[in-house]
Structure formats: structure tokens, C-alpha cells
């Protein structure tokens, strides 16, 4: 029993951005294994990786991964452990949540079943691949969500202008992006320039402090209120706009993170990844998704009206053996051509499926570390902008469209929006 709990927690915490050695998994699954009494970080996680098990203060790149599970492995691991997951969430986890004065759902059924009867647009949407509003695929716009995280400096602003300025969607309207801005090292004169150019400014914390585990384990409710609301107020004062979106630093949320968002009228969070191969449209947290959580930071309670823009996991290679929740995690891209091919491959997976919004989520450091990344991104953007049904939009625009879907025949995303 203890061994299975350790394995489940390990998988739930590490699948999104880290690697678990296969021989270690096999050892943990063997009965009466000595590893049950010698479980430690060094025997499980390959280094260097940012994990919630890391007890050091080593400065690590945010969300960097070099390897991940295949789709089949992820699904089989979760499938074999679903009963244990339910037990964990209904026993010790609920006890912990009660101790922090959070309100639990009235019954398991209230969070486990989402359908068109109890969850309808514009206020509620179940997690899934179905096209909002029942639109046909041919009449559905393909949205692309380009987002960048962290502080905005003059150097970063220059990069962003090179990527965005002068570029338009097929309809001639300027393309738009979303910037999750943290307070550390931000020059708000440049943040304001981005906002005045029509881009969305969202909240990414006041300090973006280290270590990573502070966000997921150490921070209490008051700490998170300070980080989230201080930055929201700063953006309001310095930029003159009310931010409605949030992304947790290091994607290391906890239950109290969602509590703060819900209590302070945030429209959406964008910190949760999906299982490789699962391409969801944005959904609300009125009900928990039907699939097991892919990351360590998924909420176990419900937050009606709060939207989730998922980090749909990217396929980093043509063989579909490595994945990443952000562009930065695809570390195997050594040329402009391989970077371009990765972007186009993932775009087509969305475009040829149900046109779920295609996520281009990253950090400026990804461009700094390899200058050819910028050339590949610009080339990709120029190519897909030739499609009459493709639109680069902000996260907020995407949610507003999903609330009230407008088909291509009605010409969505006009220049005055």
C-alpha cells in the first residue's frame, strides 16, 4: 500500500516536466522491494531537473526537461493507479484541505461528472476536445496562443517587437499575444507599450521567487494573496489595465492558488498541462476533468467560473517519444529546421483534429539560448498566417470566443476587438 502511494505521487508530481527511470519504476512495483525503505530523490529523478522533491536552493531553468513518457506509458501508469488516486484524494488530501479551511465538494459526484446538462456555455464548459457551440470544423477558426512569461526588460521588448510588429492575421488585423508579467526585473514603461499595441498583460507574480517548491509547498494562503494581488495591483497602477489571467511561476500551483484566483475575480488560470496526446479546448473548473491529473498542481476542488487554458503538451520529436508543456522543454531542437518542423508538426496535430487552440508558450530565454529559434518562429508564423482560418489571439480573446462561438462565416476577430 505505501509503495503504491509513493509510486502514484511520484508519477503525478513528475510526469509533466521530469524523467522517472524505468528500472526504478520496475523496482518500486516489485513486491517486498528494499526500495520501499530506501526511497529517495537520487534514486528516482535524473538530474539536473526542477522538481517538487528538490530540497536545495539551486537555481534551475523553469520547466526544463530532456525526456518524458510516451503516451502509452503515461496512460498505462495512470490507468493502473486510478483507484489509488481516488483513495488519496478522499482520505489524506481531504484532511489536509479541511485543515486549511477550504470548502470540499458536497459529494464525489459533484466534481466527477461534467456533461451538457449541468455545464453549459457561456459560464461553464467541460474539459474535452469537442468544438464549442457545435460548430463544424470547417467553420471553426484555428486560434494560436502565443504567450511569454516573466519580467519585461528593454532587451526582451526588442525581441517581442521583432516577433510581432508589423505581422497581421489573414484578415489584415494585427496579431496579438499574451504576456504573463512578473514584478522582478520589469520595466513597466515597456509593459505599457505592449499593452498599447493590443497585447494582453496577465499576472505572473510579484517576485517569481525561488525555490520552486515554495509555490507548491511552502507558501500559505496569505503568501499567495500577496504575490498574486500585489502584481495585479501593480499592473493596474503602472499600465492602466485590469489583468484577468494568471500563470503560476514554475507551473507549481497548489490548492490555495486557485482559491485566491476564484475569490478575486480572475477570469482564467493557465498553469495546468495535459497528458501527451490529449488536446483539450479551454474549460472551466466547475468540474474536475475526467482524466487523471498530469501534473502535481491540479486542483482537487472545484472553482465555478474560473477558466483553465491548458498547456497542451507539445510533441518535441517526430517519433513522439519526448514531450514538453512549454517550448523551453523541447531541448532537442538543434537547428532552425528542426525547430520549425516541431512547431509545424504540433500545429497540424491541432489543425487536423478539432482545431483546439495551438499553444506557443515560452520564455525569452528560449530565444536567447539559441538565436535560430527566433528565425524558426518567425518563419512558422509567416507560413501559418497565410491560412484564412488562422488567428493569433490573446488568451482572453480565446475565452471570449469560446463563451460565444462565432463561425468563420461571421468573420471573427475583427480589428476593433
Q: How does pLDDT run across 358-379, given as a tens digit for each residue?
A: 999 999 999 998 999 999 999 9
Q: How does pLDDT run across 268-309, given as a tens digit for each residue?
A: 999 999 999 999 999 999 999 988 888 888 999 999 999 999
Q: Phi, psi at residue 214, to the nearest 5°?
A: -60, -40
Distance CA 65, CA 17 (A): 5
For 11-24, what is the mean pLDDT? Answer: 39
The answer to whether residues 296 and 52 touch, using CB atoms and an 8 Å cutoff, is yes
pLDDT at 50 over 50: no
Alpha-carbon separation of residue 55 from 40, 58, 137, 221, 223 (angstroms) = 11, 9, 47, 21, 20
Q: How does pLDDT run across 197-228, given as a tens digit for each residue?
A: 999 999 999 999 999 999 999 999 999 999 99
Alpha-carbon separation of residue 164 from 133, 189, 367, 371, 389 (angstroms) = 30, 18, 14, 16, 19
Average pLDDT over the chain, rounded to an integer: 80
Instruction: Please give the pLDDT value at position 401.
Output: 98
Instruction: Please give the pLDDT value at position 112.
Output: 62
Instruction: Please give the pLDDT value at position 111.
Output: 53
Q: Which three cell numbers stand for residue 199?
A: 497585447
pTM (2 d.p.): 0.75
For 50-70, what is the mean pLDDT? Answer: 34
Amino acid at each position: 500500500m505505501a509503495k503504491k502511494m509513493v509510486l502514484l505521487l511520484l508519477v503525478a508530481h513528475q510526469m509533466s516536466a521530469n524523467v522517472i527511470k524505468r528500472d526504478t519504476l520496475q523496482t518500486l512495483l516489485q513486491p517486498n522491494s528494499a526500495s520501499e525503505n530506501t526511497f529517495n530523490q537520487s534514486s528516482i529523478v535524473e538530474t539536473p531537473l526542477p522538481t517538487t522533491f528538490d530540497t536545495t536552493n539551486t537555481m534551475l531553468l523553469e520547466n526544463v526537461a530532456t525526456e518524458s513518457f510516451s503516451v502509452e506509458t503515461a496512460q498505462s501508469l495512470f490507468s493502473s493507479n486510478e483507484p489509488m488516486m481516488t483513495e488519496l484524494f478522499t482520505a489524506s488530501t481531504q484532511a489536509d484541505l479541511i485543515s486549511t479551511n477550504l470548502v470540499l465538494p458536497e459529494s464525489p459526484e459533484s466534481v466527477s461528472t461534467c456533461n451538457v446538462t449541468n455545464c453549459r456555455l457561456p459560464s461553464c464548459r467541460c474539459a474535452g476536445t469537442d468544438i464549442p457551440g457545435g460548430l463544424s470544423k470547417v467553420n471553426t477558426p484555428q486560434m494560436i496562443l502565443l504567450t511569454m512569461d516573466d519580467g519585461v526588460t528593454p532587451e526582451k521588448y526588442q525581441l517581442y517587437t521583432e516577433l510581432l510588429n508589423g505581422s497581421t492575421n489573414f484578415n489584415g488585423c494585427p496579431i496579438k499575444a499574451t504576456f504573463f508579467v512578473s514584478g522582478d526585473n520589469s520595466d513597466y514603461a515597456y509593459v505599457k507599450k505592449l499593452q498599447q499595441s493590443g497585447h494582453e498583460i496577465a499576472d505572473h507574480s510579484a517576485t517569481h521567487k525561488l525555490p520552486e517548491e515554495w509555490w507548491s509547498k511552502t507558501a500559505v494562503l496569505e503568501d499567495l494573496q500577496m504575490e498574486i494581488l500585489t502584481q495585479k495591483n501593480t499592473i493596474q497602477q503602472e499600465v492602466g489595465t485590469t489583468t484577468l489571467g494568471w500563470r503560476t511561476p514554475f507551473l507549481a500551483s497548489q490548492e490555495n492558488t486557485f482559491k485566491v484566483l476564484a475569490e478575486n475575480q480572475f477570469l482564467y488560470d493557465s498553469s495546468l498541462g495535459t497528458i501527451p496526446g490529449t488536446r483539450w479546448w479551454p474549460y472551466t473548473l466547475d468540474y474536475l476533468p475526467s482524466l487523471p491529473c498530469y501534473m502535481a498542481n491540479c486542483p482537487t476542488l472545484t472553482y465555478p467560473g474560473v477558466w483553465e487554458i491548458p498547456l497542451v503538451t507539445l510533441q518535441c520529436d517526430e517519433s513522439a517519444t519526448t514531450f514538453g508543456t512549454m517550448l523551453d522543454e523541447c531541448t532537442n531542437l538543434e537547428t532552425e529546421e528542426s525547430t520549425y518542423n516541431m512547431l509545424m508538426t504540433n500545429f497540424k496535430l491541432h489543425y487536423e483534429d478539432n482545431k483546439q487552440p495551438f499553444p506557443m508558450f515560452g520564455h525569452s530565454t528560449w530565444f536567447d539560448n539559441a538565436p535560430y529559434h527566433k528565425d524558426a518562429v518567425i518563419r512558422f508564423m509567416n507560413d501559418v498566417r497565410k491560412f484564412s482560418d488562422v488567428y493569433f489571439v490573446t488568451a482572453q480573446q480565446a475565452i471570449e470566443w469560446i463563451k460565444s462561438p462565432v463561425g468563420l462565416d461571421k468573420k471573427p476577430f475583427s480589428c476593433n476587438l
